[in-house]
Amino acid sequence: MIKKITQAFKMAFKSIFSNKVRMVLTMLGIIIGITSVIVMVSVVQGQNKALKEYYESMGTNQINVYAWQGSGRDITMKLYDYCLGLDDLVLGVTPNGYAWSQNGIKYRTLSTNNNQEYGSPQISLGSDQFSVCNNFTIAKGRDISWLDVKNYKQVVVLGSKVAEYLFQYKNPIGETVNIGNYPFTVIGVYEAKGGSSDTSSLFGGYDIYGYMNYIAVVPYTVNRLLNGNQPIEQFTVKAASKEATNEVITKLDGFLSGLIDNKNGYYYIYSANQAIESSDAQNRMMSLVLGGIAGISLLVGGIGIMNIMLVTVSERTREIGIRKAIGGSRKSIILQFLIEAAVICLMGGLVGLMLGYAGTLIAGKLLLKTTLLPSVPLSLGAMGFSVLLGMIFGLYPAIKASGLQPVEALRAD
């Protein structure tokens, strides 16, 4: 049996290479289909990976709360105290308000307003748990403490890019900067956030990692200085685990519904985990759609394979008659033509695979600013599908060839 299969492969290669141009043209459909599937699906997978890295850089199990009372009363302390009571379910809670200073952040003669890349930085109003909730790590100095918040201390923790821009190689800890014309003492610097890819292609040209590093965090109680004591409406709660996230959302919903009158206020709760799950679902759907579109090329290629195999059968009718006359079985003839069809598709698939890898590398650099390679399961799946396609579309010509009568076949020119 092994000898027969080996002989069938030899005959298949001999037949293919005796009509090189025709075989190359026949393979084009398979080549284009495999290349398209690999490149398009790989780019979608790469985009999904970049989005996951971004969400993970912000911190998983993060719950965003938007709450406003029409009376203008600030609910920060009530929410803070409630979340601290959920110590088994919640790791931290912080206001997530902003104070955009028109004057930027100044240090001596330098001002962040002169930064042409980012302009004025985002100044966040946070609690002592801001870092825990937003997945920041202190690189130098210390973080904001509860005493800083309680005593309205004018202290600030700088993002890595702000510290780099204002202080260059100088140690910023203990230095004084001006925010909104008020002096703030630098007590710490955050470690730089970043991922394996540039997020500017995912967010309309903005490098989110860059902007996340271009921030400054001050105690939320200095809101009275920077924002005229306007109520803070945005908060972040960090759940202890993925499993605890839904329970915390349910408890927060119950708490806020009793605190805020819907007729004179509103609240909205959203989890970062929901964003990740939604992104996964969208990318799976996009992969299926793009794979289906590229699969049409494979279908066309398969029809081309069937067409050329029918031509081959008609050209080799006399050969088939001789094989059957000397005792060749239908099974061996079917196997011969199936192997030929599979080899054609396999060769086309290998070329498509190489082009797919090259195309994925180019697309990754141009679209995602990263080195992107197709996954192994995707590559093996594409190759296996191409071989299966060849056998499916080669089956009818093979059966037709095996059904020829020896006498009629031998009469063929």
Q: Which token pair is 234?
A: 């945005």
At which residue do the structure tokens 């964003």 appear?
275
pLDDT for position 96: 85
pLDDT for position 1: 60
From CA 412, how far away is CA 404, in angstroms rounded? 11
pLDDT for position 330: 76
Tens digits of residue pLDDT in 291-320: 677 677 777 777 888 887 787 777 777 777
Rg, Å, the chain Cα set: 33
Q: Mean pLDDT, to the nearest integer, of 319-341?
A: 75
Which is higher by pLDDT, 67 or 397? Answer: 67
Tens digits of residue pLDDT in 188-229: 999 988 755 555 554 444 455 667 888 899 999 998 888 877
Q: How far apart, in Å, are the Cα atoms of 274 and each of 55, 63, 233, 250?
A: 11, 9, 21, 14
Percent composition of the chain: helix, strand, coil (DSSP 3-state, to 5): 60, 15, 25
> Residue 125: beta bridge partners?
97, 218
Q: Cβ distance 267 to 68 under 8 Å?
A: yes
Strongest mean pLDDT among 88-97, 110-119, 149-158, 277-286: 149-158
From CA 75, how far away is CA 257, in angstroms rounded? 13
DSSP character string of 165-212: HHHTTS--TT-EEEETTEEEEEEEEEPPP--SS-GGGTTTT--HHHHH
pLDDT for position 290: 72
At which residue do the structure tokens 């290669």 appear?
13
The angle, 0 to 180 degrees and rounded to 10, between the axes of the packed helices 20-58 and 376-402 is 150
From CA 292, how far away is CA 315, in angstroms rounded? 35
From CA 337, how far away is CA 399, in angstroms rounded? 9
Question: What is the percent of the chain where pLDDT is above 90?
Answer: 20
Q: 0.75 cut: is pTM over it?
A: no
Q: Cβ distance 177 to 105 under 8 Å?
A: yes
Q: Cβ distance 86 to 248 under 8 Å?
A: yes
From CA 81, how far away is CA 146, in angstroms rounded? 13
Asked if residue 267 has pLDDT above 80, the reply is yes
From CA 102, how far away is CA 278, in angstroms rounded? 36
pLDDT for position 412: 55
From CA 155, how far away is CA 216, in angstroms rounded? 10
Least confident piece of the model among 47-61, 137-151, 255-269: 47-61
Q: Mean pLDDT, to the nearest integer, of 352-376?
A: 86
Q: How far apart, in Å, are the Cα atoms of 333 and each of 8, 321, 336?
A: 9, 11, 5
Asked if residue 95 has pLDDT above 80, the reply is yes
Asked if residue 148 has pLDDT above 80, the reply is yes
Asked if residue 156 has pLDDT above 90, the reply is yes
Average predicted confidence (pLDDT) for the chain: 81
Strongest mean pLDDT among 175-189, 258-272, 329-343: 175-189
pLDDT for position 214: 86
Torsion of CA 326, 311, 353, 368, to 10 degrees: -160
Q: Cβ distance 107 to 179 under 8 Å?
A: no
Q: Cβ distance 158 to 212 under 8 Å?
A: no
From CA 201, how far away is CA 367, in angstroms rounded? 6
pLDDT for position 203: 47
Q: Cβ distance 60 to 272 under 8 Å?
A: yes
Q: Which token pair is 280?
A: 């996964």
Strongest mean pLDDT among 20-24, 243-247, 306-310, 381-385: 243-247
Q: Mean pLDDT, to the nearest integer, of 134-140?
A: 91
